[in-house]
Amino acid sequence: MKAESHLLKARCLMLARKPWYGHAAATIQWDADETIYTMAVTVRADGQVVCLYGPKFVLECTVGELAAVIEHEIEHVLRQHCGRGRGLDQNLFNIACDMVVNGHQQSPRIGIVHPKTGYPEIRGADQICWLPPSWCADLTAEQCYEKLVANGVQARRFDNRSLIGQHDLWETADADAVSAAVNRFSLAAAASGAVVPETVKPFLDEIKPPELPWEEVLATFIRGTSDARKRTAYSRRSRRVDCFGMPGRKSNEVCHLAVVVDTSTSVTDAVLSKFFGELEALSSLATFDVLTWSDCFGTFLSPYATGDWKTFKRNYGYTDMIAPVQWLCDHQMLADGLLMLTDGYCLWPKPQGVPFLVVCSSPRGMITEPDWGKTVYLNFK
């Protein structure tokens, strides 16, 4: 039990300091196992990541050190190391994987920087496998392995260095399951509004999760936000303000989503009709405050009523999606989540710490997606 709460503290530290990893860690199943000396991660066939930990080891680590170990394990999954390296010298491949995950000792990839030392808290930093200083930081585990082989490195005598965690369970993971696991990390972090670190993006691009129909993504987003509100409502302060003459919300009220609609003419009536058709069908799950905006304020409907979209005025101006979010913040109307309909040719608002979904009317690949939340495409001609 003690080890469990120590782990929980480490995950809380990650949520505060490395939120993307903290949310990824929350999707992992944590099981105590006396036969594990440190920590060992694996991925079940359904994509569930399971992390076995030795309770004794967990209690020997500081909270900061434990956070670095957890991040190390997540990185192995993210880089899809589990289930790879078949046919290679397994000990040497393990070293290559740890080198890639840990990075260079001068600038480690993992760990939470300690304010006093300015260096991440990493247990036994002098005894673990780092990338040699002259090696490129972007090597894959296989490239790193090749270099180790070329340098005549014998795994058993590699400087007497040790792995962080154990790789014993990797053999059981298959490639599809690992992709599904990475997708779970990604969805959990997106649903919470966590910013995707630059270093993580390439791995998320690689897995290319199967594209769900946008209607399904929208429904899942609204349902998830509604459920989250039910769970947290008792402790959340009301964001409604008196100037709109509205009372504070009670915990049993349905969730409120702020919807920003880009009313530049590139978002056609057909697009509006399709989008609001879906939204109206989901109105039992949430109420919507709709703010229309192109290059300036259009209208604010609180709450939106069926068919209101037909009254929107259109504008030939450029699209600004930062100002409307600022407007919502200024008026304290950024409620339980933020939904946006736009052609995507715009600058994106900064992360606001709420769930965020963009429904984009342009085809995938044409626009730059925001670096937080999730983007789906209407695929509508």
Between 97 and 222, name the residue whose CB sits nearer to Zn ion: 97
User: Smallest distance from the beta carbon of 20 to Zn ion, in angstroms?
Assistant: 19
Between 69 and 190, name the residue whose CB sits nearer to Zn ion: 69
Region from 37-45, 164-172, 219-227, 272-280 binding Zn ion, contact rule CB under 5 A: 164-172
Question: Interface with Zn ion includes 71 (CB under 5 A)?
Answer: no
Region from 127-135, 163-171, 195-203, 367-375 binding Zn ion, contact rule CB under 5 A: 163-171
User: Smallest distance from the beta carbon of 98 to Zn ion, in angstroms?
Assistant: 4
User: Smallest distance from the beta carbon of 136 to Zn ion, in angstroms?
Assistant: 20
Region from 25-33, 91-99, 237-245, 362-370 binding Zn ion, contact rule CB under 5 A: 91-99
Region from 18-26, 58-66, 156-164, 307-315 binding Zn ion, contact rule CB under 5 A: 156-164
Query: Within a 10 A sphere around the Cβ of 187, how many other Cβ atoms?
Result: 18
Which of 75, 74, 76, 58 lies closest to 9, judged by CA? Answer: 58
Cα separation, 303 vs 43, whole angstroms:
44
Between 26 and 163, name the residue whose CB sits nearer to Zn ion: 163
From candidates 22, 165, 355, 370, binder to Zn ion by CB under 5 A: 165
How many C-alpha atoms does 341 have within 13 Å on its Cβ side?
29
Question: Interface with Zn ion includes 75 (CB under 5 A)?
Answer: no
Give the strand pairing for 103-104 and 29-32.
Answer: unpaired
Which of 127, 119, 110, 96 lies closest to 67, judged by CA? Answer: 110
Between 170 and 288, name the residue whose CB sits nearer to Zn ion: 170
Between 169 and 228, name the residue whose CB sits nearer to Zn ion: 169
φ/ψ of 261, rounded to 5, equals -115, 125
φ/ψ of 295, rounded to 5, equals -100, -5
Which of 34, 86, 81, 40 lies closest to 56, judged by CA? Answer: 34
Helix (H, G, I), strand (E, B) or coil at 361: coil
Buried b / exposed e along 124-135 (16+ C-beta atoms within 10 A): ebeebbbbeeeb
User: Smallest distance from the beta carbon of 163 to Zn ion, in angstroms?
Assistant: 5
Between 94 and 294, name the residue whose CB sits nearer to Zn ion: 94
- Structural tokens at position 135: 């090696």
User: Smallest distance from the beta carbon of 34 to Zn ion, in angstroms?
Assistant: 20
Question: Interface with Zn ion includes 98 (CB under 5 A)?
Answer: yes
User: Smallest distance from the beta carbon of 283 to Zn ion, in angstroms?
Assistant: 48
How many C-alpha atoms does 159 have within 13 Å on its Cβ side?
13
User: Smallest distance from the beta carbon of 13 to Zn ion, in angstroms?
Assistant: 20
Between 39 and 358, name the residue whose CB sits nearer to Zn ion: 39
- Nearest-10 crossing angle of helices 175-192, 19-26: 120
User: Smallest distance from the beta carbon of 51 to Zn ion, in angstroms?
Assistant: 12
Q: Which residues bind Zn ion (CB under 5 A)?
A: 98, 163-165
